[in-house]
Amino acid sequence: MFGFGRRPIQKLGFIVAGAQKSGTTALNYYLKRHPQIALPIKKEVHFFDKDELFAGGNVSYEPLHEMFRPARSDTIAGENTPIYLYWRPALPRIRNYNPAMKFVVILRSPIERAFSQWNMQRSRGNEPFDFLEAVQAEPRRIADAAPKQLRKFSYVDRGRYADQLERAFRLFPREQFLVIKYETFRAQQRETVEDVFRFLNLKMVRLRAVEAHDIPYARQIRDEERAAVREILKSDIGRIEALLGWDCSDWR
């Protein structure tokens, strides 16, 4: 019925959980090409951040599993929804679903990431403010959205990676996380993807590196904008360096 040796997906084994605008689409390109990886029919499933699915207490995971085609028994199923690291209820829900879940997290300079998200919202017609106006409006927008989190306009807040990772490390053993620096991924795609395959206990396969195609937005970030956001996130960048043992001088 399901084709030779194929069966419906019963459990996901890994999630690409962040961060938005940090190369998760490029990583998805490589994951799709590994014969032992089963991915859903669309990149972002947005299952664990849909609060209404978890409101009643009895959660059905069938809608999640139905997003996958039947796969061979030697595959690992996973999905790629970058908001999960940021969306506070998502990780506890994932732990209830599979406490052994593995996470791949890519972190980009939070300044560049914020500007990229603003550009995306601007190009979609969602954002009336210029970049620094939007950054200044963000605390008020966050307060107005409470107790929910902001999705569209969380430019700076999503770049507070240390808070997000510390929450994650309290819920899951740290060895269940592979945290990748976006700038390293761009410079060393093949090596980074091989690290992901090793982390997922998969055999190595030969893959052709692809050029990263940046979306041509209307303009680049200005020096004064970069300096303003750097000032806001300075201590957060320092905390990430301490937490992960990274050198993030390029982010500054």
CB within 8 Å of 139: residues ≥ 6 apart: none
Average pLDDT rounded to a whole number, residues 158-185: 98
Is residue 208 scored above 90 in pLDDT? no
pLDDT at 210: 76
pLDDT band (50, 70, 90) for residue 2: very low
Backbone angles phi, psi at 78, to 5 degrees: -155, 170
Q: 134-138: long-range contacts at Cβ-Cβ below 8 A with a sequence spacing of 24 or more?
A: 135/228, 135/229, 135/232
Average pLDDT rounded to a whole number, residues 102-111: 98
pLDDT at 217: 83
Mean pLDDT for the chain?
A: 95
pLDDT band (50, 70, 90) for residue 216: confident
Tens-place pLDDT, residues 56-92: 878 999 999 999 999 999 999 999 999 999 999 999 9
For 6-210+223-244, the fitting CATH number among 3.40.640.10, 3.40.50.300, 3.40.50.1980, 3.30.565.10 is: 3.40.50.300
pLDDT band (50, 70, 90) for residue 134: very high
Q: Residue 242: count other Cβ atoms within 10 Å of its Cβ.
A: 9
Minimal CA–CA distance to 86: which of 207, 167, 204? 167
Average pLDDT rounded to a whole number, residues 172-178: 98
Tens-place pLDDT, residues 223-245: 999 999 999 999 999 999 999 99
pLDDT at 101: 98
Parse the chain into domains and list their residue ranges: 6-210+223-244
